[in-house]
Amino acid sequence: MKILLSGDGQLGQMLGASAIQHGHECLLYSTRSHQVKPLSAQLPLAMTLAQAIAWADVVSWEHEDIPADVMTLAQHKFLMNAAGIQRLTDRRAEKKLFDDCAVPTSPWQSYDNVAELQQLLQQSQHDLVLKAARGGYDGKGQWRFGRGDDAVTLAAVAGQQAGIAEQLIAFDREVSLVGARAKDGSVVCYPLITNVHRNGILSYSIAATGQLPVTLQQQAEHCFQALTNALHYVGVLAIEFFVVGEGDTAQLLVNEIAPRVHNSGHWTMNGASCSQFDLHIRALTGMPLPQLRVQPTLLLNVIGVESIPDALWQHPQSSCHWYNKTAQPGRKVGHVTIQIDDLASAASWVERWAERLQVLA
């Protein structure tokens, strides 16, 4: 098949590599330069977006914020309602989807302007997390409000654009589920993984160590099925959860979804028999979704540094991925996946390498 991907960042490049590995042709459309490019090439092709869409059998994306020109020209080449997917770039629409699907989430309210937010803050009986409705990631566009804080001052800043106010939840840990849904409705999911953030940015993830109860996996897969069915989704989708409570009484609250391949799924490139990128290509092209084999894996994000040390490139347990980006504090420029034995070995790797690989501010 011929696949056109909207976006030529690291996710688009990784998807393109998987497409070629599976015997398909692939082109990337840069949403920054508005040029069509072959995989891993800096020089564009003498091809317009309309010509690239005409060439393609199917169009997909590396990020759900799909440009208007792609939406208009490619709507007949998407495998699902892309306009419905794009609406999820607004957190108000995302939260409404959660409510419509009866998946548990933190209580929330929306606001449109400074005045509405100020009133909401002054009347709140709970500590809150404020999030801009659009944009903002890796901790950007978010604020915390505690009872007794200055509502007027915070509203003047956070209320400059519409957003949502979520009740602050005391949670045990953050986890995520990555899975795929095929056009026939079949679903396959990886195990839940534990995520650790620093300054709102994903620092590392621990996968397939068996530390999470089976009941949480069942809850997560139920949410995945409900959300992807409601969206008539085809491809890989990630869900971020908060774990509330402990042991047999632990419950999951949905935090956010990402209708695409996701940073927290990068561990699958070396820790699973089929990566998240392979799953997405299989779903797009109608291939059957496989049974998954996984092994304990640590994902360490590389953030804001100039390079990955040679010792990690050379180590037999690690696999390094560099995105060829200019290093800036807080910017993800690569990742390292590491084969581990257990949680203790993961902690040892994190203690040794996390700070050396991550410049957050």
Q: What is the pTM of this model?
A: 0.94
User: What's the CATH class of domain 2-78?
Assistant: alpha beta
* Beta partners for residue 236, in sequence order: 180
Please give the pLDDT value at position 137: 66
Cα atoms found within 13 Å of the Cα of residue 259, Cβ hemisphere only: 27
Could you report the per-residue pLDDT of 221-239, keeping only the tens digit for each? 999 999 999 999 999 999 9
CB 273 within 8 A of CB 290: yes
Residue 40 scores a pLDDT above 90: no
Residue 13 scores a pLDDT above 70: yes
Could you report the per-residue pLDDT of 152-210, keeping only the tens digit for each? 999 999 999 999 999 998 898 999 999 999 999 999 999 999 999 998 899 999 999 98
% of residues, the chain, pLDDT over 90: 91
Mean pLDDT of 13-36: 96
Is 28 exposed, middle or buried, given 0-12, 13-18 or 19+ CB atoms closer than 10 A? Answer: buried
Q: Return d(Cα 155, Cα 18) in angstroms, integer.
A: 45
What integer best gives the mean pLDDT of the chain?
A: 95
List every span in the chain annotated with CATH 3.30.470.20: 173-357
* Lookup result for tokens 């939406």: 71
Please give the pLDDT value at position 139: 64
Please give the pLDDT value at position 206: 98
219: confidence class by pLDDT, cuts 50, 70, 90: very high
Q: Which residue has the higher pLDDT, 136 or 128?
A: 128
Q: Under CATH, what is the fold of the domain 173-357?
A: D-amino Acid Aminotransferase; Chain A, domain 1 (3.30.470)
147: confidence class by pLDDT, cuts 50, 70, 90: confident
List every span in the chain annotated with CATH 3.40.50.20: 2-78
List every span in the chain annotated with CATH 3.30.1490.20: 107-167
346: confidence class by pLDDT, cuts 50, 70, 90: very high
Mean pLDDT of 268-293: 97
41: confidence class by pLDDT, cuts 50, 70, 90: confident
CATH superfamily placement of domain 107-167: ATP-grasp fold, A domain (3.30.1490.20)
DSSP state of 1: -
